[in-house]
Amino acid sequence: MSAFVTLSLSAGLAALLLHRAYTTGRLRHVIASLGGSVAYIEPYTGKTYPLDKPRWSGDDKPGEQPIPLMLTALPGITRRQIDKTKRSLWRCPHFKLEWNNPTCSFKDRGTTVMLSLLRQQGITHVLEDSSGNGGASVSCYAAAGGLHATIMAPDSTSPAKTVQMKAHGATVELIPGSRQATSDAAVAAHGRDGGRLFYASHAWHPFFLHGTKTLAYELWEDLGFRAPDNVVIPSGGGSNILGCDLGFSELQRAGEIQKLPRLFCAQPLLCSPLASGILQALGETDGHSPPAEWNVPNKTMAEGTSISRPVRLQECIDAVVRSKGGAIRVTEAEMAQATFDLAQCGLYTEPTCAQAAAAYRTLIARGVIKADETTVIVLTSTGVKATPGIATLLETR
């Protein structure tokens, strides 16, 4: 299985290093290493200025434009100075930035594995139902692999969301009615077009999950070949719950880790079939109204997790219970607050992902997770993909 893993090792890591180096002031050492001989310089006059005073240009001269500065020549570094082994993550908690995948969401992990398999099996036309990240990912990888993609989406889908699919050459079919009606139409269309249209569904295909499991392998490697104590996962269909369950179980089977991390499912209170099912299975209550309430489609701002009938509901519940984890149902207000709290730490995410940070806060407050445990919060996609939703949040703030 090593190819599955090497596929996406270190995705997301560079971002954390950038942030971490920034926030720990590592540049102090850099400035020291520059030595006393380095200075700001006006490149064409040769005039220099010391580094220790902040300045953005050369000195003003009356009636002239200011001059842009450079640094005097540095010695360069050699390959022996490249540290290829050391990796670090933020502590308490660790954020896993899944937008560092080619189409800027975690879906690519599953799509690349699923479509690679299908192509080798001779499939030429793939069908996916999604109005968001899944459709973008399948369109992209289908194009990369020379397959034709058809994406079905509810007819209420904003045109902006279908732009990426069409640019990749996918055929977009808009289906009247609910999100569920689109799923039903996709199931019915499997085998269409003279038998060649294959339902390559991120919700259904097991090889999709064997792509998302690379998240577990990658966290294990990021943490120095250790499993975290807890993983908090924003959940819709549950493919990251099942991916983590698969990956960490395999690592346990291979003798690489001793116990499974606890998996925590974060879902919007307004649409929380998985979280409600988990609470029920654990015999827990959370002070919110009973589960029936979530069956209101399309009301939560967490669109990416607004899936009222997950295909693998029971498997997800079992995986979380087996891990001794739990579930948090997140209110819209908590989600909005978490979106801005993350942004003000430099992490710009969809509200869909920010609910995991909100859930973490609740888990800490309740003492379910301790601050000194190693906890990973999975941020599945970037806020860049949710501009209209975040604009609305800003207006009503």
Question: Site residues for its own copies, window 169-208 (CB under 8 A)?
Answer: 169, 187, 190, 198-201, 203-207
Q: Which stretch binds its own copies (CB under 8 A): 49-57, 149-157, 276-284, 368-376?
A: 49-57
If one asks whether residue 95 binds its own copies (CB under 8 A), the answer comes out as no
From the list 64, 194, 195, 254, which residue makes contact with its own copies (rule: CB under 8 A)? 254
Which of 50, 59, 92, 163 binds its own copies (CB under 8 A)? It is: 163
Of all helices (H) and strands (E), which one includes residue 356? Answer: helix 351-365
Tell me the C-alpha distance between 71 and 4, whole Å.
44
Q: Which of residues 211-240 bind its own copies (CB under 8 A)?
A: 217, 221, 225
Task: Please measure the distance between the N-terminal and C-terminal CA atoms of the chain and give it in whole angstroms.
Answer: 47
Structure tokens that stand for 327 in this block: 């579930």
Listed ranges 261-269, 270-278, 293-301, 380-388: which one lies at the site for its own copies (CB under 8 A): 380-388
264 near 328, Cβ under 8 Å? Answer: yes
Is 77 among the residues that bind its own copies (CB under 8 A)? yes
Q: Does 119 bind its own copies (CB under 8 A)?
A: yes
Binding mask 262-301 for its own copies (x = CB under 8 A): ----------------------------------------
Stretch that binds its own copies, among 110-118, 228-236, 262-270, 290-298 (CB under 8 A): 110-118
Decide if residue 108 touches its own copies (CB under 8 A).
yes
State which of residues 189, 281, 282, 343 lies at the interface with its own copies (CB under 8 A).
343
Minimum CB–partner distance for residue 261 and its own copies (Å)? 15
Among 94, 96, 141, 334, binds its own copies (CB under 8 A): 141
How far CA 89 is from CA of 17, 19, 134, 225, 294, in Å, comes to: 7, 9, 28, 13, 35
- Asked if 8 interacts with its own copies (CB under 8 A), we say yes
Backbone dihedral angles phi then psi of residue 299, each to the nearest 5 degrees: -105, -20
Spatial neighbors of 97 by CB under 8 A, at least 6 apart, are: 12, 15, 16, 347, 379
CA–CA distances in Å: residue 133 to residues 109, 120, 157, 270, 319 = 12, 24, 13, 21, 24
Cα–Cα distances in angstroms (integers) from residue 15 to residues 23, 93, 100, 261, 321, in the given order: 12, 15, 8, 24, 32
Judged by DSSP in three states, 122 sits in coil
For its own copies, the binding residues in 307-326 under the rule CB under 8 A are 311-312, 314-315
